Amino acid sequence: MQAETGSMDVEVVILGTGLREAILAAALSKAGFTVAHLDYNEYYGGDDASLSLDELRKWARERSEPPHTSNYLSSQRARFTAVSSSWEAVHAQARHFSISLSPTTLPSVGPLIDSLMASGSSRYGGFKLLERVALYDKPGYVKMVPGSKEDVFKSSELGLLDKRRLMRFLMFATSEFEDKPELVGHEDTPFVDFLRQTFSLNEGASIAVAYALAFNTTTSDTTLPALQRIRRYLRSAGRYGPSPFLVGHYGGAGEVAQGFCRLSAVHGGIYILGREVTSITTSEIPAPPSSTASPRTRYTLALQDFPEQLSCDVLISTHDYLDPSLKSQATRISSDRPSQAIARCIAVIDKPIVFRSSQFSNSQGASEDETDGSTQVDTALLIFPPSCLEAGSSTAAANVLISGPQAYAAPEGHFLLHLSMPLVEPTSRTAEELLKPYLDATLSMADAGRETSASESQPIRPSHTLFYVQHLPTPPSPSDASQSLGSLFVPPSDETMLSELSDSAATNAETTFWKVVEKLKEIRRIKRESAETEGDKSVEEPVVDSFWPPISDTTVVDQDW
């Protein structure tokens, strides 16, 4: 089609189509900037992608081989380690799985929901309420977690005194607690200690609040951030239903990323997937003689199997696409988090998970489908607090996001288990060694059949399992904190916490957006000053006064053109 070699000139090139980059691409395109958005992979979503079973298999294979000449794959191989898998023969419905590399639950109030609604990309995807959150209790059994004040009130599991204490805590957690005497001086106290000391919560309640309400992931997680999360989640409850959380159809984050990419395309964004960036070269363009501006950088990218070169004023890239020398030139958006690692497991099972309450007569108020208080779940969260498994971690909590056909994550009759656990300290144990006890404990909840009771049923075997450790990208070494605004941006890494990842992606996208817009405005100003582009409409002063401009009447769903 485009046989001739040429150059495609845009203002912004974005490398990587993860959720954060997708939101950024949509916002920049909507603001009127020309954007080309690229990915090494043939699918959308980068590290947040939703993959079919075959794509996941390829993904794992690519990351378990020795380093590669491509920057992207080499970086990915350094960031996804200890990959081990077991695959049964080809699955007939392999294409009907949407397996998320970034399992997430989305709070019903927060930056991502705001972006979905304000941008109009909410119309492209679907969501489902998270049905349940439960704590692992013993093989085959869970403890249901009271998710709201109503649940606490109705619970017959809690004694009157405990109920009053928990209610008092929840009232506190929904208030503007920052300057309250209960908190002042305890902001950095480990949260469980705070709950027990300040609110006299018993051990069970403290663990439930810390790990299943605040979603703490380690014993050392501190009080202030945990309280802030609880407040947001409690305020999210009731917006779309009893649960504060939504789970996206078809694998969540990867699908939401596709929606934002489509939105970018609708506003002129150019999409090129499945191409390796073979080189990134920089050239300096001197400022016009009349101008006081300093010379600006232009980036030229060559792609494999692509006739044209891409050239841009601003380059935005995830860590994986950049070699170390380019990475060191990147403008820092905000202070990066310290390096973190998270052990993950994905398992495919063909039996549903059943939450059997160990205190079935007093499980939470919601209706149960069986008299013994057991509930078959499609989309739910199972939490393993620290020290709850003998073979497990004593310092980290693990969680399992279960997602099935109702979340369009798996075909009828199949379910996905996504296990995650942060690695608190360096370990020589593999992801499989670390997570196997948790997987086995989760499988003990599977419904092996009506005729067998929980105690005598044989644990089921997953048809596919994949274990790996995901390392957050190493932050670029800051050359100079006070450096002037460059034209290469590496957006900050997102939170890894299941309930925070998607909001963090939206927040990071917005922070990066404003820095990039500032730079793009500066470049357009310089271009206007130079004679060669006189009368060129593409360098007009852009008016950008909000992340998402209001959706005007002419772009509402039914008249969108």
Binding residues (CB under 8 A) for another protein: these are 1, 43-44, 113, 116-117, 120, 122-129, 131, 148, 150, 237-242, 246, 249-250, 255, 258-259, 261-263, 265-268, 270-274, 366-369, 375, 378-379, 406, 555, 557-561
Structure tokens that stand for 299 in this block: 């980036």
Least distance (Å) from another protein to the CB of residue 111?
14
Which residues, in sequence order, are CB contacts of 179 under 8 Å at separation 6+?
none
Least distance (Å) from another protein to the CB of residue 150?
7
Partnered with residue 7 across adjacent β-strands are 309
Least distance (Å) from another protein to the CB of residue 212?
19
Least distance (Å) from another protein to the CB of residue 473?
24
Interatomic CA distance for residues 190 and 195, integer angstroms: 9
Interatomic CA distance for residues 415 and 407, integer angstroms: 10
Nearer to another protein, 25 or 469 (CB): 25
Least distance (Å) from another protein to the CB of residue 237?
8
Alpha helices in 134-222 (DSSP H): 149-154, 160-173, 191-199, 203-207
Please check whether residue 8 is in contact with residue 309, taking contact to mean a CB–CB distance below 8 angstroms: yes
Least distance (Å) from another protein to the CB of residue 253?
13
Nearer to another protein, 94 or 183 (CB): 94
Interatomic CA distance for residues 319 and 456, integer angstroms: 50
Least distance (Å) from another protein to the CB of residue 281?
22
Nearer to another protein, 96 or 461 (CB): 96
User: What's the angle, vertex CA 42, arms to CA 379 and CA 315, rounded to 5?
Assistant: 105
Of 547, 553, 556, nearest in space to 114 by CA: 547
Nearer to another protein, 26 or 343 (CB): 26
Nearer to another protein, 124 or 389 (CB): 124
Residue with tokens 């644990």: 459
Nearer to another protein, 122 or 220 (CB): 122
Nearer to another protein, 95 or 180 (CB): 95
Q: E strands along 318-394, which residues?
A: 341-349, 353-356, 374-377, 380-384
Run of H or E including 177: none
Longest dimension (CA), the chain: 86
Least distance (Å) from another protein to the CB of residue 490?
23
CA 360 vs. chain centroid, Å, equals: 34
The edge-to-edge listing of strands for the beta sheet with 341-349 is 80-87, 464-471, 341-349, 415-422, 398-403, 380-384, 132-138, 141-144
For the residues of 207-237, what is the DSSP string, one character each? HIIIIIIS---BTT-BHHHHHHHHHHHHHHT
Nearer to another protein, 139 or 274 (CB): 274
Least distance (Å) from another protein to the CB of residue 260?
10
Please check whether residue 304 is in contact with residue 283, taking contact to mean a CB–CB distance below 8 angstroms: no
Q: E strands along 423-491, which residues?
A: 464-471, 488-489
Nearer to another protein, 59 or 438 (CB): 59
Least distance (Å) from another protein to the CB of residue 156?
19
Nearer to another protein, 379 or 504 (CB): 379
User: How far is residue 123 from each of residues 69, 130, 241, measured CA to CA in Å?
Assistant: 40, 20, 19
